[in-house]
Amino acid sequence: MSVRKVEKGQEPKLLPVAKLNGREFLVDVENRQFRNFNEPGEVIRMHSQQGRKMLKDMQGGEWSCHGLSTATTDEAEV
Residue 30, domain extent: 20-61
- Nearest to 26, CA basis, from 8, 7, 2: 2
pTM: 0.63
Does 13 map to a domain?
A: no
What string of H, E and C letters represents the secondary structure of 13-70? CCEEEEEECCEEEEEECCCCEEEECCCCCCEEECCCHHHHHHHHHHCCCCEEEECCCC
Element spanning 76, H or E: strand 75-77
For residues 15-31, give the mean pLDDT. Answer: 86
For residues 6-35, give the mean pLDDT. Answer: 80
Above 80 in pLDDT, residue 67? no
Does 34 map to a domain?
A: yes
For residues 56-78, give the mean pLDDT. Answer: 61
Residue % of the chain over a pLDDT of 90: 21
Q: Based on the structure, what is the number of domains in the chain?
A: 1
pLDDT at 70: 43
C-alpha distance from residue 3 to each of 38, 41, 42 (Å):
9, 12, 14
Does 9 map to a domain?
A: no
